[in-house]
Structures are given as structure tokens and as C-alpha cells.
Amino acid sequence: MIYGERVRLRAIEREDIPRFVQWLNDPEVIAGLMVTLPMSSWDETRWFESKASQPAEERPLAIDVRTPDGGWKHIGNLGLEGIEWMNRAASFGIFIGEKTFWNQGYGSEATRLALKHGFETLNLNRIFLHVYESNPRAMRAYEKVGFVKEGIMREARYINGVYINVVLMSVLRSEWDKLPEA
């Protein structure tokens, strides 16, 4: 497990699948994700099983938050994917499916933990992500932990009849080392 102050990152389990199905069928949650079709338990089970054949470093992690009674509650997932060992680069993705936990700093705290893990354990040099320009909450959460905008992929996604600009953001290890919270 990777522990932060209010958040921990753990391996996903088969028992988490019903929550993935619930979250990934919620239009508000998927508005910022590359998910367009209704998601079944079967889809999520196949997705879960496909992760076993991926390199361990690239498997998604569950985001748990501390509860007042001292337990943990699963609120979403994140992961580093497509690790390029020669370039020491990886892409980052996150979603919090429990909407009542949005806007309380959990997303940025979990992202900060994932960056720390990526830079200081996996020894990566560049972590990048794609975010829809129509998702200011996510962009703000990423900026808070050190991501900077690199450029815009114009009209790169077509969602609900509208083309969306996709913003490319990244953090370099040299920048991470200078951040006060790193």
C-alpha cells in the first residue's frame, strides 16, 4: 500500500468490480473520461482480468480515503500506464467515482501520491496526461500538484455532438524535486 495523509493507494480487487460498474455508468463521472458506452459487470470483469497480464507497475490502483471510524472507503481509481523505460515516461489517469468526495482535495492528494511513487519509486522522468478542456476541475487539481500545460490537441474528441479540445499536461522529475510538498 502507498499511504498519504488522508488517502491510500492499494491494488484493485475483484470485489471492487460492482463499484466500477456503478461509477462508470454515471454520466457525470464519465463526462471527463474516455468512456462512451454503457458498462456491464462482464465488461468490468474482463477489464479486471486483463490487468493481470499487464506489468505490475502499470496495474490500476484503488484510491481509499480514511473514514471517521478509522476504516477505509474506496472512492476511485488511478494509474500510471504505458511506461516507456528507455524514456522513463508514463501517462497518468484518475477518476473519483464517489461524487460526494469531489472538490475536497482527495483527487490532488491521490495524484501527488502517484507522482511521488512514479518519480521516487519507479524512477520516472516525465509523467503526462490528457484532459478535456471542458473539465476545469481536473485541470485545477493537476495544476495544484505541479502539472503544467504543454499544448492543446484541437477538437481531438467528439462527445455528445461537440468536438472537444484535449489539453496535454506533464510534470518532469526536475520540477517535482523543486515542489515544496515533493
Ligand X SMILES: CC(C)(COP(=O)(O)OP(=O)(O)OC[C@H]1O[C@@H](n2cnc3c(N)ncnc32)[C@H](O)[C@@H]1OP(=O)(O)O)[C@@H](O)C(=O)NCCC(=O)NCCS
Q: Is residue 108 a contact point for ligand X (CB under 6 A)?
A: yes
Q: Is residue 48 a contact point for ligand X (CB under 6 A)?
A: no
CB 47 within 8 A of CB 21: no
Q: Is residue 106 a contact point for ligand X (CB under 6 A)?
A: yes
Q: Among 2, 4, 10, 33, which residue interacts with ligand X (rule: CB under 6 A)?
A: 33
Min dist. Cβ of residue 96 to ligand X (A): 4
Please state, in angstroms and rounded to a whole number, the distance separating the CA atoms of residues 154 and 152: 6
Residues between 13 and 32 that touch ligand X (CB under 6 A)? 29, 32
Please state, in angstroms and rounded to a whole number, the distance separating the CA atoms of residues 162 and 117: 36
Q: Is residue 131 a contact point for ligand X (CB under 6 A)?
A: yes
C-beta of 124 vs 141, nearer to ligand X: 141
Min dist. Cβ of residue 23 to ligand X (A): 9
Task: Please classify residue 76 by burial: count the beta carbons closer than 10 Å to its beta carbon, then call 0-12 exposed, 13-18 middle and 19+ buried.
Answer: buried
Residues between 68 and 87 that touch ligand X (CB under 6 A)? 76
CA 157 from centroid of its chain's CA atoms:
19
Phi-psi region of 170 (alpha: psi -120 to 50; beta: other; left: phi over 0): beta
CA 101 from centroid of its chain's CA atoms:
15
Q: Is residue 60 a contact point for ligand X (CB under 6 A)?
A: no
Residue nearest to ligand X (CB): 107
Q: Among 124, 141, 164, 171, which residue interacts with ligand X (rule: CB under 6 A)?
A: 141
Those residues with Cβ within 8 angstroms of residue 163's Cβ, 6 or more apart along the chain or in another chain? 155, 156, 157
Min dist. Cβ of residue 135 to ligand X (A): 5
Q: For binding to ligand X (CB under 6 A), which residues are involved? A: 29, 32-33, 76, 94-96, 102-108, 131, 135-138, 140-141
